[in-house]
Amino acid sequence: MQIDIKREAWAALFFCTLAVTSEAFGYQEVQVSDGGTITGIVTLEGSTPKPKGYNLTTLPDQFYCGRISDGHGWRILQPFQRGSHGEFQDVVMYLEDVEKGKPFDKSESDGPAIEARDCLFAPFVTVVRNNQTLTVINMDPVMHDIQAYETSHMGARVLFNVPLPMNPQHPRNFKDRTDAGLYHKHMAGQPMKQQINLTKGRNVFVMQCGFHAYMESWALAISNPYYSKTDEAGRFTISNVPPGTYKLVAWHPYVRQRYEQTVIVRAGETVHTHVPIEAPKGRLYANEVLDREYVRYKVADDVKREIEPLVEKQEHP
């Protein structure tokens, strides 16, 4: 279990999950013939919080996973993805306490799929439904270990902890600096499938790699199909909403405060809205990127030369 997830991120989640709706068995699917649409933009106001920083020499597979790094032996994880004008990505927008409406998307009936690629879990934020099957696939030539938890204001509980094997056809020697040693294709390992059984009242799902602490994936458990996740431009759209008055709620795993708006949807009309979210202040996690070099984890020059950001060179804030 990784300390940064358990102690810091869970605490942030407690504030924003208090009013998540009940389990999906209370929702009634009906035909909606006069539905309206809610669309808008979510922005992150203020200074972007500092990202997390992980010293690669203290974790396994530093040569492969260091292909995404700052070039000095550090791997950076920024939970707050925003555009040049504050566009806030990966925010789940959902309607609360909807009793009946459009059916769930049948294409999502098999449950979410998460991919491990270049020592990243993608997507970083998604949605789940209780009793769905989660599928995780390892595309990397290194082993990953899946640690999954559910959490809310009531506390956390382990859901499962299983290895995520790699494709046996992957090359193994990543210290070989020849072209053959550096190049590889992403090849899928055997899919890992686990059923998501959330305890009543716990509505947040988080998954982390036990070997590589910078690999995170978060999900919000929803009870109706009226939700949308913001894209790179901070945009979201919730369609086919029955006419009525609703509470529109914003959720992000590292935003402590609850954000909601009351929206009135009329038949066949589109509601446009803007949801500004204040960027959290202060230190959000134990392993926040430092402005100065941390002597305890100083990376020797010879190691820096071995850890090359061949996929992406990350920039410090």
- Is the pLDDT at 1 greater than 50? The verdict is no
The tokens of 75 are what?
A: 């791997």
In the chain, where are the structural domains located? 3-292
pLDDT at 104 over 50: yes
Closest CA to 224 of 27, 92, 19: 27
Whether pLDDT at 29 is above 60? yes
Nearest to 239 by CA among 53, 57, 34: 34
Q: How far apart are CA 160 and CA 143, in angstroms?
A: 17
Please give the pLDDT value at position 177.
Answer: 66
* Mean residue pLDDT across the chain: 86
Which distant-in-sequence residues (6+ apart) come within 8 Å of 75 by Cβ?
A: 53, 54, 56, 65, 66, 68, 69, 119, 214, 314
Q: What is the pLDDT of residues 284-315, one digit of tens each?
A: 999 998 776 655 566 777 777 778 898 999 98
Average pLDDT of span 239-262: 96
Is the Cβ–Cβ distance between 217 and 121 less than 8 Å? yes
At residue 297, the pLDDT reads: 63
- d(Cα 224, Cα 22) in Å, to the nearest integer? 9
Question: Is it the case that residue 8 has pLDDT exceeding 50?
Answer: no
Q: Is 128 exposed, middle or buried (0-12, 13-18, 19+ CB in 10 A)?
A: buried
Write out pLDDT tens, residues 156-209. 788 999 999 999 888 777 667 666 667 778 999 999 999 888 887 778 999 999
What is the model's pTM? 0.87
How much is the pLDDT for 51?
96
Please tell me the predicted confidence (pLDDT) of residue 315: 87
* Segment 18-38 mean pLDDT: 73
Q: What is the DSSP letter of 107?
A: G
Among the residue ranges 118-132, 141-155, 277-291, the one predicted with the least confidence is: 141-155
pLDDT digits (tens, 9 = 90+) for 53-89: 999 988 999 889 999 999 888 999 999 999 999 999 9
- More confident of the two residues 310 and 264: 264
| Residue 65 in tokens | 């996973």
Per-residue pLDDT at 12: 43
